[in-house]
Amino acid sequence: MAKRILITGAAGFLGSHLCDRFIKEGFEVIGMDNLITGDLRNIEHLIKNKNFEFHHHDITKFVHVAGELDYILHFASPASPIDYLKIPIQTLKVGSIGTLHCLGLAKEKNARILIASTSEVYGDPLVHPQNEEYYGNVNAIGPRGVYDEAKRFQESITMAYHRFHGLETRIARIFNTYGPRMRLNDGRVIPAFIGQALRGENLTVFGDGTQTRSFCFVDDQVEGIYRLLLSDYSDPVNIGNPHEITILDFAKEIINLTGTDQKIVYKELPKDDPMQRQPDITRAKEILNWEPKVSRAEGMKITYEYFKGLSDDELQKREHKDFSEHIRR
């Protein structure tokens, strides 16, 4: 019989790619999303698939799923600094209450659960590259604290369910990931630069651009998560691409890739913006026999072509998704 999996955040960037992967592997997939930051366009190709069903539901509210469940992937959360500045309370709730609900459901169904944690648990790291033993350097009360601390709580409660209830749990610490279906106006650097290139605008580099990131193509990320879910390893595992680049050099790569003549303009560095970030993926290599395969050049080409191929109307919708109605709730 086909295995059944619940994926929260199914209409989001990573969630929708995970739905695709599990459908491809023959699973029955239940996608759940409250559609605040998610977008039904990301899963519209799955709606008629007999192995897929969509539940429009907010996981911070009590959740009920009929029938058996073998696995849960908890991927619901805003994931960009701009989003969690706009909806800080929802960000805290989905990481805490939403995770509690997912864990409770996993316990009830005797399902294995994987939660999407983040490199943000390392904050502005003083250890480089970051391995899973590092406790992090997080400002709980800064603008990013709502995300960072929610994710740290998420890891903590997940380990508590594992230790206290013997629940089968997995924790993926996801580093910056990119690819088709990212929301163009979410403020993250890759969609920002691609959107700017497509509109012929200058590229906005925050600070002096010496801060670093390490970008992982979505197919590699999905493969890492897939392997982690099916592994028997319950401690956190970094999933990311270790190839590090400064944001300034990355802006120059984008200018080369898009063949445009945009200039680079400098804007103020956001508060608590981590100065460096690079995953140590020794653990993922050893335990999952996984490492990224797609170079930044290949991945960025695929991503740029994807956005270039969208009609003006599609692009507009992806640029102007408005969730202001949720901001005061």
CB of 310 to ligand UDP, least distance (A): 20
**Residue of 84, 147, 161, 304 marked active site:** 147
If the CB atoms of residues 136 and 270 are measured against ligand UDP, the closer one turns out to be: 270
What is the closest distance, in whole angstroms, from the C-beta atom of residue 122 to ligand UDP in the complex?
A: 11
Provide the minimum distance between the beta carbon of 196 and ligand UDP in the complex, in angstroms, as a whole number: 8
Q: Are 147 and 118 in contact (CB under 8 A)?
A: yes
**Nearer to ligand UDP (CB atom), residue 31 or residue 123:** 123
Amino acid at 41: R
For residue 28, the minimal CB distance to ligand UDP (Å) is 33
Torsion of CA 288, 286, 250, 38, to 10 degrees: 30
Residue number with CB closer to ligand UDP (81 or 224): 81
Phi, psi of 247 (to 5 degrees): -65, -35
Contact 161, 227 (CB under 8 A): no
At closest approach, how far in Å is the CB of 276 from ligand UDP? 10
Helices (H), the chain: 13-24, 81-86, 88-109, 145-165, 189-199, 218-230, 247-258, 282-288, 296-308, 312-319
Q: How far is the CB of 120 from ligand UDP (least distance, A)?
A: 7
CA distance 38 to 48: 19
User: Do residues 34 and 62 make contact, with C-beta atoms less than 8 angstroms apart?
Assistant: no
Q: Which amino acid is at 302?
A: I
Cβ-based nearer residue to ligand UDP, 72 or 192 = 192
- Quick check: is 161 catalytic? no
Strand 4-8 with 236-239, pairing? unpaired
Residue 80, φ and ψ in degrees, nearest 5: -125, 150
**Interface residues toward ligand UDP, by CB under 6 A:** 80-81, 176, 187-189, 192, 204-206, 211, 213, 247, 269-270, 273
Peptide bond into 180 cis (omega under 30): no
Three-class secondary structure of residue 157 per DSSP: helix
d(CA 108, CA 101): 10
Q: Which residues are catalytic?
A: 147
